[in-house]
């Protein structure tokens, strides 16, 4: 799974600009499916047919947060907007890739501390005041307004079991579902794999997907907040604690109980994540589709969400993959 995640970390998959990512995922899931397609919305859909007449959907969104060129300035710098929720404070001095006619390396500029005025130190950082420097006076020959800008894909292992990279929300979920598809060698049920887009913009991709799907169970894999120093322990989960099984109004209660029981029976480490309202994931849309879809959300703790240095732990991913494989391959009566 480690090499798979590294492979997925490279392509740009910013919402609305994830064509290369979709093609890579299509090629990766193809050996484990009877059919694979990229639909008109850009979702990757793979189907592995079973014999029971029951269908399970395995969903993970593939899009990541990023930037988009808004204007080319006279000095050659690029103004930009954010795509998805990004804290402006993380952006100064960031390394980026501008996906123009060819990929251009760039950096987001910042004033030297020697030139900062008192009002600069007190003021709020604004996206409108930032620019991308690509080292060119006339970048309009290579860049146009609307081009995607992704964080530079530096993927580094931390210690023995962790990895840091951009876009792990939710490429780690895609990696988990790909691993599950590879593991389902004798699954009796029909399994629909979906790597959906536009989750970061309101779960739009999965809404389009569910117009065509009629399933008996949906399992969604995403990330949740990993514990960092100073954060509320009630809102975050320690890395290395296993899969986070969600419970709440959007989650089918019987499947939540079954997931917990299965994890306990097989020695799979897990935590319980409580969402008293909606989950903020594709689960919210899926469970309302058609006449209602029993849905389960299994997440992986992730530190520094929506930054270029997100961190996950492989043992948590493996726990989630094992649990999902057992649930999908078993009896769907619940």
> What mean pLDDT do residues 314-326 have?
99
Domain with CATH 2.40.30.40 in the chain: 66-151
Q: Which residue has the higher pLDDT, 51 or 114?
A: 51
Q: Which two tokens stand for residue 7?
A: 């492979």
The per-residue pLDDT for 110 is 73
Q: Which two tokens stand for residue 106?
A: 């760039």
Domain with CATH 3.40.630.10 in the chain: 2-64+166-329
Catalytic status, residue 199? yes
Residue pLDDT, tens place only, 257-304:
999 999 999 999 999 999 999 999 999 999 999 999 999 999 999 999
> What is the band of 140 on the pLDDT scale with cuts at 50, 70, 90?
confident
The per-residue pLDDT for 258 is 98
DSSP string, 87-107: -GGG-TT-EEEEESSSEEEEE
Over 70: is that where the pLDDT of 111 sits? no
Residue pLDDT, tens place only, 52-75:
999 999 999 999 999 999 999 999
Q: Which residue has the higher pLDDT, 322 or 122?
A: 322
Q: For the chain, what is the mean pLDDT?
A: 94
Q: How far is CA 250 from CA 64, 161, 218, 246, in A?
A: 23, 32, 12, 9
Over 90: is that where the pLDDT of 115 sits? no
The per-residue pLDDT for 232 is 79
Residue 135 φ/ψ, nearest 5 degrees: 75, 25
Active-site choice (74, 124, 199, 264): 199
Q: Does domain 66-151 have CATH number 2.40.30.40?
A: yes
Spell out the alpha helix ranges (H) of the chain: 2-9, 19-29, 118-122, 168-183, 204-209, 253-265, 283-286, 314-329
Q: How many CA atoms lie within 13 A of 240 on its CB side?
A: 5
Pick the range with the lowest mean pLDDT from 11-20, 103-112, 142-151, 198-207.
103-112
Distance CA 152, CA 145 (A): 20
The per-residue pLDDT for 70 is 97
Domain 2-64+166-329: CATH superfamily, name plus number: Zn peptidases (3.40.630.10)
Contact in structure between 97 and 150 (CB atoms under 8 Å): yes
């Amino acid at each position: 799974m480690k090499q798979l995640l590294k492979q997925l970390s490279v392509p740009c998959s910013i919402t609305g600009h994830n064509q290369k990512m979709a093609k890579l995922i299509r090629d990766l899931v193809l050996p484990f499916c009877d059919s694979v397609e990229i639909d008109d919305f850009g979702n990757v859909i793979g189907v592995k047919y079973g014999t029971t007449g029951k269908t399970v959907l395995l969903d993970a969104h593939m899009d990541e947060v990023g930037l988009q060129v808004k204007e080319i300035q006279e000095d050659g710098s690029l103004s930009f907007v954010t795509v998805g929720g990004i804290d402006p404070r993380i952006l100064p001095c960031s390394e980026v890739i501008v996906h123009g006619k060819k990929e251009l390396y760039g950096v987001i500029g910042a004033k030297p501390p020697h030139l900062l005025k008192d009002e600069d130190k007190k003021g709020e950082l604004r996206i409108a005041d930032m620019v991308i420097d690509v080292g060119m006076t006339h970048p309009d020959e290579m860049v146009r307004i609307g081009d995607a800008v992704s964080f530079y894909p530096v993927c580094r292992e931390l210690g023995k079991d962790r990895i840091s990279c951009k876009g792990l929300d939710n490429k780690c979920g895609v990696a988990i579902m790909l691993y599950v598809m590879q593991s389902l060698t004798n699954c009796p049920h029909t399994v629909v794999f979906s790597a959906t887009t536009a989750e970061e913009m309101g779960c739009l991709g999965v809404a389009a997907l569910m117009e065509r799907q009629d399933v008996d169970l949906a399992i969604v894999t995403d990330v949740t907040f990993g514990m960092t120093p100073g954060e509320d322990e009630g809102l975050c989960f320690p890395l290395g604690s296993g899969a986070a099984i969600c419970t709440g109004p959007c989650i089918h209660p019987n499947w939540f109980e079954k997931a917990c029981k299965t994890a306990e029976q097989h020695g799979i480490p897990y935590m319980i994540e409580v969402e008293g309202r909606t989950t903020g994931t594709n689960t919210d849309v899926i469970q309302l589709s058609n006449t209602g879809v029993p849905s389960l959300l299994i997440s992986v703790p992730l530190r520094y969400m929506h930054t270029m240095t997100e961190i996950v732990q492989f043992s948590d991913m493996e726990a989630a993959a094992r649990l999902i494989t057992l649930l999908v391959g078993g009896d769907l009566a619940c």
